[in-house]
A = this chain, B = another copy of it.
Amino acid sequence: MKAALVILADEGLDAVTMRRLAQALETGPASLYAHVSNKDELAELMLDAVLAEAPIPEPDPALWDEQVRELVRGQIRVMVAHPGIARIAWDIAVPVTPSSLRQGEAMLALLRAGGLTLKQATYAGDALSLYAKAYAYEASSWTWGDIDAAETARRGEQMVAYMRSLPAEAFPNLLQIGEFFSAETAAERLEFALDTYLAGLKVLAAGN
């Protein structure tokens, strides 16, 4: 349902209610149930529509690790481009929509091209997908909605105040990392996670 994605983009996830959607379609809430059996099903349709925009690389064994990065980046990109979708992705327990399956198959194909066994590829794909969803969710909430800038700032101050109130030697590391943990470093943290995990996978593949 395109209309739902428009509302999501314009007014945020909280505004995507059956009533609001019905209003956009100039009808009543009850009428929506002729096209969708559930709000969950609506969410699933929205997720699938968004995920369909993520490109799927053609596996090339020589480039497999960069292609895995590209696949994950693509998933994250489309989710972050539609803030709120990542939250929906978490709510859906087992995604069995066409786009989800295509993404899953693509991930497995790339990992196998990298020399992993089927089992290794399964587990690695699971971990990478989990991370993609997690990262997209966090990135979305930083850039949008749920928490506004004032609330975020308040939290930051609260944290600093709380930690200052403790003996400084209790949090020697935490007190130093503030500079690394801003929204600006988000992309860098993603690349770090991908690099590290893929480095681990190469160690594994070398042992096969």
Q: Is the CB of B93 within 8 A of A155?
A: yes
Q: Is the CB of A93 within 8 A of B131?
A: no
Q: Mark A31-60, 1 if CB is under 8 A from B, else 0.
A: 000000000000000000000000000000
Size bin of chain A's contact surface: 35 or more
C-alpha gap A134/B138 in the complex (Å): 11
Contacts of A174 in B (CB 8 A): 101, 104-105, 108
The answer, among B109, B131, B204, for a CB contact under 8 Å with A131, is: B131
Q: State the oligomeric state as a number of copies.
A: 2
Contacts of A123 in B (CB 8 A): 180, 188-189, 192-193
Contacts of A137 in B (CB 8 A): 90
C-alpha gap A170/B195 in the complex (Å): 29
Q: Does A8 contact B (CB under 8 A)?
A: no
Q: How far is the CB of A174 from chain B (nearest CB, A)?
A: 5
Residues in chain A within 8 A of chain B (CB atoms): 90, 93-94, 96, 98, 101, 104-105, 108-109, 112, 118-124, 126-127, 130-131, 133-135, 137-138, 141, 146-147, 152, 155-156, 158-159, 162-163, 170-174, 176-177, 180-181, 188-189, 192-193, 195-201, 203-204
